[in-house]
Amino acid sequence: MSSLNKHAKASNNQITIAGGRLLQRHHDFFSYTFFGFLASVVNIASFFLFRNLLSVPYFYANIIAFFIANLFSFFMNKHIVFTTNADDNRGFLIQLGLFFAYRLISLIPDNLTMFIGLSWLQWNSFIVKIIDQVIVGIFNYFTTRSVFKKETNYLRRKLQENLHKDSPSKLK
């Protein structure tokens, strides 16, 4: 029986090590998921504040909630989520601009989901907003990652080389 316990302890130790490696390898995804969930809560709470308490039409309440949640999301992603292999060469305003450019693209399926769910299907706004946040959250993970992480692909390296080659400091 004791050899069985040794084997079980070795297996538990191996599982712990493998779990640690998995968490380390996918840290960005797990932390993005957690803070993305919090951003969705901010979005939903803001939407209901403006829609139900302040009687703002759902289209405008959705856009206001979008901007509030995305400001929250930007700061969480910049300072907590994508800190490993972060691209420090991009300035704050460039990252903010890229972040909101991608997020403005996601506002299209966001508003479309709300429109279809509320106007055509006449579903409960809470259910529609949750569905909306899941759809938009998946899209946003991939675009947000590219704003804060260093990319190692060939095209980006070539573009950066050409930009640095033609920069004003090199022209002097």
| pLDDT score at 103 | 87
Please count the residues of the chain: 172
| pLDDT score at 97 | 85
Q: Write down the mean pLDDT value for the chain.
A: 78
14 vs 129, which has greater pLDDT? Answer: 129
Interval 10-28 mean pLDDT: 64
* Confidence tier at 142 by pLDDT (50, 70, 90): confident
Asked whether residue 155 carries a pLDDT value surpassing 50, the answer given is no
- Least confident range from 26-30, 44-48, 73-77, 99-103: namely 26-30
Asked whether residue 114 carries a pLDDT value surpassing 70, the answer given is yes
50 vs 27, which has greater pLDDT? Answer: 50
Question: What does the DSSP assignment read for 111-161?
Answer: HHHHHIIIIIS---HHHHHHHHHHHHHHHHHHHHHHHHBPP--HHHHHHHH
96 vs 163, which has greater pLDDT? Answer: 96
| pLDDT score at 24 | 62
Question: In this predicted model, what pLDDT tens digit does every residue of 56-68 receive, in sequence order?
Answer: 999 999 999 999 9
| pLDDT score at 4 | 52
Asked whether residue 11 carries a pLDDT value surpassing 80, the answer given is no
**Which contacts qualify for 75-81: CB closer than 8 Å, 24 or more apart?**
76/35, 76/38, 76/39, 77/32, 77/35, 77/144, 77/147, 77/148, 78/148, 80/31, 80/35, 81/28, 81/31, 81/32, 81/35, 81/148
| pLDDT score at 172 | 46
Interval 119-144 mean pLDDT: 88
Interval 74-96 mean pLDDT: 73
